[in-house]
Structure 1
Amino acid sequence: MAALRSLTTCGARYLKLSILKPVVATLCQPLSTDAEFGNSAFQPKTTPMLPPGTFSNKTAFITGGGTGLGKSVASSLAFLGANVLLISRREEVLKQTCDELRKVTRSQIDYAVADIRDVDAVREALNICSTRFGLPNLIVNNAAGNLLCPSERLSPDAFSSVIDIVLKGTGIVTLEVAKALIKAKQSGTFLCVSTVYAQTGSAFVMPSAAAKAGVETMVKSLAAEWGKYHLRLNAVAPGPIYTEDAFSRLDPTGQFTKELGKRIPAGRLGLMEEFANLACYLLSDYSSWINGEVVRFDGGETPAIAGEFNILTRLLKDNDWDSIALLAKSTSKST
């Protein structure tokens, strides 16, 4: 709550999501089809890519599972046969999501209300999972907190809130579940949701960037340490994927969203279903030799904004290069 209150301190004003939706609908469309290239290489596929039953007899433990990316991953895992326990602080949201998933899947779905910053609450959620389904094999650390604010305006409470949810909370869940699995001599696969700016840094989201960077380091450290226990850990660092919950906080005016598609080589925002497909692959036995990795998932955004000359892709057309080549030749002859 402190993090959300600080948004008001920063001067942000919440607007209705209807302002954002037309913009997002456009930006999530693939690049226009060109006769020269045929169908776009960036045409999204939103159906599950893994075979039915991939996660039969598996149990997923998903934090932040009531909305957004967590809900999308939960839906895909349930569709592919996993039993699912959703964890969040908002019981009303959890109930609604469970009801939705039960209508479209035969998997067993349940929830536990818990604040992942509270170790006792996490232990109780794990106890509910163990009683209902058994210990989880698939652990998705998706719960997060974030806010958009100049760092010099951050209150101590806002800073602590983000760090505690993202880094401390993820650490508590990972450690508590792993201890239970190690004691029971059971294997497990962990997936942490990071962000592209954990690797690059970013203005106005410093607490989140720092906390997510810590999560990525935790993943790599524990992957090296826990292989002997048959525990596997990876992370996904997504770029801009539209979710109502996050975008209403981080882009209340819609101005930033309008600019996103312009700087992504894929020409569009990512989709939650695409993210869920990647997450399911990394949780599945098909990726059993991937361990300690942070997979960037951003449509090429990070390398596109990092290169010094990448701006020329927007400033120059193909035929401009002929003129540049001629100019370079004439300059070479005159020197």
Structure 2
Amino acid sequence: MQRADKNPQRAVGWGATENRRGISNPALSFFPVVSLRVPSMSAIRMIPSQLLRTAGVRTKLPVMSRAISFSSAALKFKHWEAPDRPKINPEDMPTNPGPNPDPSNIGVNAVLNLRPESMDKHTTSIFAEFSLEGKTAVVTGGNRGLGLEMALAFVEAGAHVYVIDRAPEPCEDFKKVAKHCHQLDRQIEFITADVTNAEEMNEAMQYIEKESSTGTVDVCVANAGIMQSYPAMDYPVDEFRKVMEVNTIGVFITAQAAARVMRGNPNVTGSIILTASMSGTVVNRDQSWVAYNTSKSAVLQLGRNLAAEWGPYNIRVNTLSPGYFRTSLVASQLDADPGMLKRWSDANPMNRIGLPHELRGVVVWLASNASSFCNGSDIIVSGGHTIW
């Protein structure tokens, strides 16, 4: 095990005081976020605390005088709980009924048998099914875009969230989300790792298992991916291979690392979500995305195979296929080609493209016990783009 740099730095989260919809909120206060760097199994590295002092922010984090390796377990994270959030009794959460369930614990009977004290105006059984309270969730490629939107949704649903991204430091979007999480008295953590490196991903998952409040991984979204545009006849083979390496093999490595942790805990009902795309089902008109589309189509079949193999271990695997969404990356493309938005909107039955927050409900449903019998499915969220 290698030690980190001799001058460890402290990772923090800060940024403008807008929420995820761009609305200014002066109530948002600074929230430090621990950053874990996993380059070739090296240890934890932190962003300079001097940046905090420059911004006039006080932090209770101690100054790190030396590096901390992954094996040291010297760094502990505090799991924040929202003080005003209604508490859900874990015994009232839906569980795997098994092959021969008690009829009194099925359907309407299960609801009627809930203890009266757990049934109040805030916590009815259906809300409990969608809750991620007390769960640990991992999202790769969650530094920005739809991955960050998913991570925020999990935090708001009650989960302790770890974002894994290859970026060495959190971006400004992540730092804004961290401030929002602080407002909820919740914690979101950032880990740097490469999804195409199986050793790094296994180390990262094992670290999360050890440090999380639940002692396992309950939910994993394999979301990291890249896109390139080349005409098929001119596509460099090495570039094609790179897209497949990240979008397909990286998704498999992530799912495999998460499933190993989940299987090691017999009490876990795991949910693994693989981010595919509507481009895995249809061809994007006027776009030269042959490698991207091929990689996402492979993810669809990967999801079905893993669902079949891991279902007996009480691990569900589903794929999520977004259509066109107005992420910051897409917005820059639309600015460069104003006619693109009209073409995409005209091709959609709803005459528009999606907004990032419109993916939140679906991904929370897939992660939660509300989708406990959904396995091997592909959920297309495209506004109906693929039905024509």
- Shared fold, TM over 0.5: yes
Q: 2:183 aligns with which of 95, 104, 125?
A: 104
| Corresponding position of 2:221 | 140
Q: 1:153 to 1:249 in 2, by over 3 A?
A: farther
What is the distance in 1 between the residues matched to 2:160 and 2:171? 15
| Closer/same/farther in 2, CA of residues 104 and 158 from structure 1, 3 Å limit | farther
**CA 1:161–1:104 in structure 2 vs 1: closer, same or farther (change >3 Å)?**
farther
CA drift at 1:102:
3.1
Task: In structure 2, give the amino acid aligned to 1:194.
Answer: A
User: Which one has more relative contact order, counting CA pairs under 8 Å at least 6 apart?
Assistant: 1
Q: Residues 204-223 of structure 1: matches in 2 within 5 Å?
A: 204-223=288-307
The 3 A distance-change label for structure 1 pair 92 and 101 is farther
CA 1:129/1:165 → structure 2, altered by over 3 Å: closer, same or farther? same
Aligned to 2:143, the other structure's residue is in SS state: coil
Aligned-partner SS, 1:289: coil
Cα distance, 1:252–1:164 mapped onto 2, change above 3 Å: farther
Letter in 1 for 2:235: L
Compared CA separation, residues 72 and 85, structure 1 to 2 (3 A) = same
Q: Could you give the per-residue CA deviations for residues 23-67 of structure 1, whole angstroms, max 9, x where no partner exists?
A: xxxxxxxxxxxxxxxxxxxxxxxxxx9679811110111001110
Map 1:135-214 → 2, pairs under 5 A: 135-185=216-266, 186-202=268-284, 203-214=287-298
Q: Any idea what SS the aligned residue of 1:143 has?
A: coil
- Which residues of 2 match residues 1-335 of structure 1 at below 5 A? 54-93=131-170, 97=174, 99-133=178-212, 134-185=215-266, 186-202=268-284, 203-248=287-332, 252-304=336-388
Paired positions, count: 256
Task: Provide the rounded CA distance (Å) in 1 between the counterparts of 2:254 and 2:334.
Answer: 26
Alignment check: 8 A CA contact 2:334 2:341 kept: no
User: C-alpha offsets along residues 140-190 of structure 1, whole Å, 9 cap, x if unaligned?
Assistant: 111111012211222222111110000000000111111222133233101
> In 2, are the aligned partners of 1:198 and 1:210 still within 8 Å (CA)?
yes
Structure-1 separation of matches of 2:127 and 2:246: 31
- Could you list the per-position Cα deviations for residues 271-290 of structure 1 after superposition, in whole angstroms to 9, with x for gaps in the alignment? 11111111111111111111
The amino acid across from 2:187 in the alignment is Q
List structure 1 segments (4+ residues) > 6 angstroms apart after TM superposition: none
1:13 aligned partner: none
Q: 1:182 to 1:51 in 2, by over 3 A?
A: closer
Task: Note if contact 2:130-2:369 (Cα within 8 Å) is conserved in structure 1.
Answer: no
Q: Distance in 2 between matches of 1:210 and 1:218?
A: 12
Alpha-carbon distance between aligned partners in 1 of 2:356 and 2:183, rounded to the nearest angstrom? 17
Q: Kindly provide the amino acid, as one letter, of the partner of residue 200 in structure 2.
A: A
Tell me if structure 2 keeps the 8 A contact 1:182–1:229.
yes
Q: Contact (CA 8 Å) 1:117, 1:172: kept in 2 or not?
A: yes
The whole-number CA distance in structure 2 between the counterparts of 1:156 and 1:200 is 23
User: Residues 115, 50 of structure 1: CA spacing in aligned structure 2 closer, same or farther, 3 A cutoff?
Assistant: farther
Q: In structure 2, what is the Cα distance between the partners aligned to 1:293 and 1:250?
A: 31
CA 1:271–1:250: 2 relative to 1, 3 Å: closer
Task: Tell me, in whole angstroms, the C-alpha distance in 2 between the residues paired with 1:175 and 1:195.
Answer: 20
Distance 1:249 1:163 in 2: 23
In structure 2, the CA distance between the partners of 1:96 and 1:296, relative to structure 1 (3 Å rule), is closer
Q: 1:50 to 1:275 in 2, by over 3 A?
A: farther
SS of 1:224 mapped into structure 2: helix
Supply the AA of the counterpart residue of 2:281: Q
Structure 2, unaligned runs of 5 or more: 1-125
Contact 1:53–1:81 (Cα < 8 Å) also in 2: no
TM-score by length of 2: 0.62
For residues 257 and 157 of structure 1, do their structure 2 counterparts lie closer, same or farther at Cα, with a shift above 3 Å needed?
A: farther
RMSD (Å) for aligned C-alpha atoms: 2.2
Deviates more, 1:122-131 or 1:281-290: 122-131
Mapped contact 1:235–1:294 kept (Cα < 8 A):
yes
TM-score (structure 1 length as normaliser): 0.71
The answer to whether the Cα contact below 8 Å between 1:58 and 1:138 also exists between their aligned partners in 2 is: yes
1-structure distance, mates of 2:129, 2:367: 15
SS of the equivalent of 1:225 reads helix
User: Do 2:321 and 2:380's aligned partners in 1 also have CA atoms closer than 8 Å?
Assistant: yes
Structure 1, unmatched stretches of 5+, are 1-48, 305-335
Secondary structure at the counterpart of residue 134 of structure 2: coil
8 Å contact from structure 1 (residues 67, 245) kept in 2: no
Amino acid in structure 2 at the alignment position of 1:57: G
SS across alignment from 1:299: coil
